[in-house]
Amino acid sequence: MINLTAKQICAVVNGELFASSSFQDFTVSEVITDSRTFFGGQNVAFFALTGPVFNGHNYIAQLRKKGVQLFIISDKNFIDDKANYILVKDTGLALQQLATYNRNQFSQPVIGITGSNGKTIVKEWLYDLLSAELKIVRSPKSYNSQVGVPLSALLLDAQYELALLEAGISEPGEMQKLAPIVQPNIGILSNIGDAHQENFQSKKEKLNEKLQLFVDAKKLVFCLDRPYSKPIAKFCLGNNIEPINWSFENDEATIQFKSKAAANHTKIEAKTRNKSYSFQIPFTDESALENACHCFATIVALEKIPDVFLERFSKLEPIAMRLEIKQGINNCLLINDYYNSDLNSLGIALSVLKQQAAQSHLHKHVILSDIHQTGIETAELYSKVNQLLQEWGINKLTGIGEALYKHQYIFQMESEFYSDRNEFEKHFIRSNYSSSAILLKGARQFAFEQISALLQQKAHQTVLEINLNALIHNLNSFRKLLRPETKIMVMVKAFSYGNGDVEIARLLQHQNVDYLAVAVADEGVQLRNAGITIPIVVMNPEHDSFQNIIDFNLEPNIYSTQLLHQFAKVVAEFGLCNFPIHVKIDTGMNRLGLKTEKEIDELISFVKSNKHLKIQSVFSHLAGSDDPELDDFTHEQFTRFAHLSKQIETAFDYKVDKHILNSAGIERFTDHQMDMVRLGIGLYGISQTGLQLQQISTLKTTVSQVKTVNAGETVGYNRKGKTRQQSRVAVVPMGYADGINRRLGNGLGSAFVNGQEARMIGNICMDMLMLDVTNLKVSPGDKVEIFGPDISISKLAQLLETIPYEILTGISQRVKRVYLQE
């Protein structure tokens, strides 16, 4: 952990200190870069990072109120006498300089991990394998970016005996900045895949970029069976690095592996330095096998005796890569984080808890296990935990584990303690948990998933998983196409295109979008009741909804002169002035909107003479922005909108925002972004131009039963699914009541099971469908993907000759939504 004074930091980053009149030099023990995840504390330094769509300087005043005393800035216009400032040319570079300095004070071994996939799992498995022998510090979560790596390196100090640091890149030139921060003694190159390939001309270029992390390493762990192994071997030779390579095929490798998969585990034999070792892992997939081999090879690279660790491989567990946010019992919100348990990851999880609880007005309850392997004396550790919980305003703590039980006297809040999880379960009373946001934060050996099962709102096994990090990626992908000043309105109508409105809206509010848009007022009311405070536009307001629009501070779309007069009358009855409205112009879609100059003139005349209304924006909707064959018509719409909107814009002495671009329009007609854009289906991962978006939704369930069906028998209603040979059929608890289109039955549609697609057989039922799994290893309980990373929504839409919107919005609300966030 960093332990430098303000003046020392100033010297390290080559900055200029502007101290307040009351300044006394003090020791900084924490560095932050995100104002949204900080809610108070002392001895904190804030780096005001800047980027294409954000500027950390704008949050200095807010952070001063929370107690931050030191700010590292690059804009001298923010300097005043209310705090202390270090002025630098580039705050991002300054953060990296400080992290490099801290790394240079750390003399113990550092293992640096990079690659396209598996970095975080390898890091976490190494921690599980080695932490009984060594005091280890590791990157929190998947902190492997240009900001995450420096923040991870700032955690290093003399109490630790080993560091595990991830480093990820997405563009050329980034690894050169990260390499001096990590400076690994031992490197691990997990693999080279397609992730972030869009920014590199070839995989060879990406490989060379990643290898820059290991230029000064002493050893490098990598697989010899990959097509890119020769350039890695050449790199090792040219930089005097000892290759710790492994292989299933090459007898010349440092380590030779053999494997045999069984029903629920894989047996592995390893041979190295004329010694043989046998162990097994509780997984059968190829990626887990590769990750386990990297871990074994790293143990060899560390010159540890492998025999000590063999049994531990059998106890490796799946790594929950992201926080899970789901509905709990009695109006509770459940936040599951089984990732790891240490002070750093606890702080990250508490920021999510604070955000979720504040927006739903829920009590904040933390269920926490003992924290192991911190290198801090136990009483001091839990004093720090107590301080952390107080700073985040936690209402109640449930501690589970012998150490927490023994040190319960430290905690200054409502609390209860149990010696182990079984003791907690014995005393569990369902009614004691209500209207709370509950964070489950436990080390993996405490098996908190069993506590989660007690607290989770029961639903059938079909779930729609929403990857909130993918949504953020998509939002930022569109932001990169826009000018910094262009506002973004995000469409969250129709249950956020089937993905769940409240959670999506919370995230978008946290990401500082400018507006949300809903279809009807009831949707807006639900968001307001959930704590959403940013402006919300109602696209289809009705006369009966005017009361709610006013009561809940919603903003209506005015699409006709009749609606204009009706709404103005109600606003006048409430005695309100300058109530914001949004005026829709019909430029050729021929749906809602004012179409003629006469209607526009009437609107202008009425609003100018009416003190109760104010035009916030004027907009139109493109009919064919996704179809190049309709581009001439789209440009006609642009011309028509420019003409009619100018009439409104010039008629008033205040700013009226203009917007016409939807998701496809943002991608294809960026020059027409005007003052604002409306982002819809693109946010959810559907691109019209090949923009590198991520599908955010995975519809998944499990196999209920597998049965043998003889040749000539039929499957399902109306005997449509006839088998030509003896077949194995998997019954899946998902049907048209869940939103599965019946046309996918009888072989048109398929699902992804155990690494392969299985065709749907027979008619789809209300609550079930059947899969032909004749040639697959499938058992009850196996996971089934209807769409997700292996079957895209776009592919499904093509099969059904429809659009992705219909697929997403058709998923029934009885399907439980589970939100994942790193």
Q: Distance between CA 746 and CA 763 in Å, rounded?
A: 6
pLDDT at 447 over 90: no
Phi, psi of 50 (to 5 degrees): -130, 155
Q: Does 28 reside within a domain?
A: yes
Q: Does 598 reside within a domain?
A: yes
Our count of domains for the chain comes to 5
Give Cβ neighbours of residue 569 (< 8 Å, ≥ 6 apart): none
Report the pLDDT averaged over residues 639-655.
94
Do 174 and 296 belong to one domain?
yes
Do 572 and 655 belong to one domain?
yes
Do 92 and 125 belong to one domain?
no
Picking from 813, 815, 816, 786, the residue whose alpha carbon sits closest to that of residue 695 is 786
Q: Does 635 reside within a domain?
A: yes
- Widest CA span in the chain: 93
Q: Does 428 reside within a domain?
A: yes
Do 87 and 226 belong to one domain?
no
361: region left, alpha or beta (phi > 0 left; psi from -120 to 50 alpha): left
Do 123 and 164 belong to one domain?
yes
Amino acid symbol at 304: K
Length of the chain counted residue by residue: 822
Do 308 and 328 belong to one domain?
no
pLDDT at 822: 64
**Exposure string for 585-623, b = 16+ CB within 10 A, e = fewer:** bbbbbeebbbbeeebbeebbeebeebebbebbbbbbbbb
Say which CATH number the domain at 53 has. 3.40.1390.10
Q: Which of 655, 684, 713 is the last residue of a domain?
A: 684
Say which CATH number the domain at 213 has. 3.40.1190.10
Do 31 and 116 belong to one domain?
no
pLDDT at 40 over 70: no
| 684 DSSP assignment | G
Is-catalytic flag, 717? Answer: yes
Q: Distance between CA 656 and CA 361 in Å, rounded?
A: 34
Say which CATH number the domain at 589 has. 3.20.20.10
Q: Distance between CA 554 and CA 570 in Å, rounded?
A: 14
Classify strands 727-732 and 769-772 as parallel, antiparallel or unpaired: antiparallel
Instruction: Report CA-CA distances (Å) from 106 to 13, 137, 409, 541.
Output: 18, 11, 34, 62
Instruction: Report CA-CA distances (Å) from 238 to 54, 214, 217, 219, 255.
Output: 41, 12, 12, 13, 22
Taking only the tens place, the pLDDT of each residue in 233-252 is 999 999 999 999 999 999 99
Taking only the tens place, the pLDDT of each residue in 721-780 is 889 899 999 999 999 998 899 999 999 999 999 878 999 999 999 999 999 999 888 888
Asked if 39 contacts 67 with a C-beta cutoff of 8 angstroms, the reply is: no
pLDDT at 497: 61
Q: Distance between CA 285 and CA 777 in Å, rounded?
A: 13
Taking only the tens place, the pLDDT of each residue in 619-644 is 999 999 989 999 999 999 999 999 99
pLDDT at 322: 62
Q: Distance between CA 744 and CA 732 in Å, rounded?
A: 14
Q: Which of 455, 480, 512 is the last residue of a domain?
A: 455
Q: Which residue has the higher pLDDT, 457 or 20?
A: 20
Q: Does 142 reside within a domain?
A: yes
Rg (C-alpha) for the chain, rounded Å, is 29
Q: Does 168 reside within a domain?
A: yes
The interaxial angle of helices 343-360 and 378-391, nearest 10 deg, is 20
pLDDT at 125: 93
Q: What is the 3-state secondary structure (H, E, C) of 525-576?
A: HHHHHCCCCCCEEECCCCHHHHHHHHHCCCEEEECCHHHHHHHHHHHHHCCC
pLDDT at 181: 95
Residues making up the annotated binding site for substrate are 591, 766
Classify strands 70-73 and 44-47 as parallel, antiparallel or unpaired: parallel
Six-digit token string for 598: 């006469």
Residues making up the annotated binding site are 591, 766
Picking from 144, 133, 136, the residue whose alpha carbon sits closest to that of residue 108 is 136
65 pLDDT band, cuts 50/70/90, is: confident
Do 538 and 675 belong to one domain?
yes
Give Cβ neighbours of residue 175 (< 8 Å, ≥ 6 apart): 114, 167, 169, 209, 210, 212, 213
- The catalytic residue among 493, 584, 658, 816 is 493
E-strand ranges in 664-732 read 676-679, 697-702, 705-709, 714-715, 721-722, 727-732
Is-catalytic flag, 493? Answer: yes
What residues make up the domain containing 81?
A: 4-96
**Exposure string for 232-242, b = 16+ CB within 10 A, e = fewer:** bbebbeeeebe
Lowest-confidence segment of 112-116, 150-154, 282-286, 555-559 by average pLDDT: 282-286
Six-digit token string for 555: 């903003």
Residue 666: helix, strand or coil by DSSP? Answer: helix
Q: Distance between CA 669 and CA 162 in Å, rounded?
A: 51
Give Cβ neighbours of residue 447 (< 8 Å, ≥ 6 apart): 421
Say which CATH number the domain at 785 has. 2.40.37.10
793 pLDDT band, cuts 50/70/90, is: confident
pLDDT at 688: 81
Phi, psi of 146 (to 5 degrees): -65, -25
Q: Does 542 reside within a domain?
A: yes
| Helix (H) or strand (E) run with residue 441 in it | strand 436-441
Taking only the tens place, the pLDDT of each residue in 418-443 is 999 999 999 998 888 988 999 999 87
- Whole-number average pLDDT of the chain: 89
Q: Distance between CA 245 and CA 221 in Å, rounded?
A: 6
Q: Distance between CA 700 and CA 178 in Å, rounded?
A: 37
Q: Does 318 reside within a domain?
A: no
pLDDT at 459 over 70: no
Do 519 and 588 belong to one domain?
yes
| 605 DSSP assignment | H
- The catalytic residue among 76, 608, 717, 783 is 717
pLDDT at 214: 96
Adjacent-strand bridge partners of 365:
396, 438
Classify strands 275-281 and 266-272 as parallel, antiparallel or unpaired: antiparallel
Do 477 and 336 belong to one domain?
no
Q: Is 28 exposed, middle or buried (0-12, 13-18, 19+ CB in 10 A)?
A: buried
Do 289 and 145 belong to one domain?
yes
Do 670 and 754 belong to one domain?
no
Report the pLDDT averaged over residues 596-615.
94
Report the pLDDT averaged over residues 702-715.
91
Q: Distance between CA 296 and CA 122 in Å, rounded?
A: 10
Say which CATH number the domain at 396 has. 3.90.190.20
Taking only the tens place, the pLDDT of each residue in 582-604 is 999 999 989 899 999 999 999 99
Q: Which of 46, 77, 96 is the last residue of a domain?
A: 96
Q: Is 186 exposed, middle or buried (0-12, 13-18, 19+ CB in 10 A)?
A: buried
pLDDT at 450: 86
Angle ∠(675,677,680) on CA atoms, nearest 5: 165
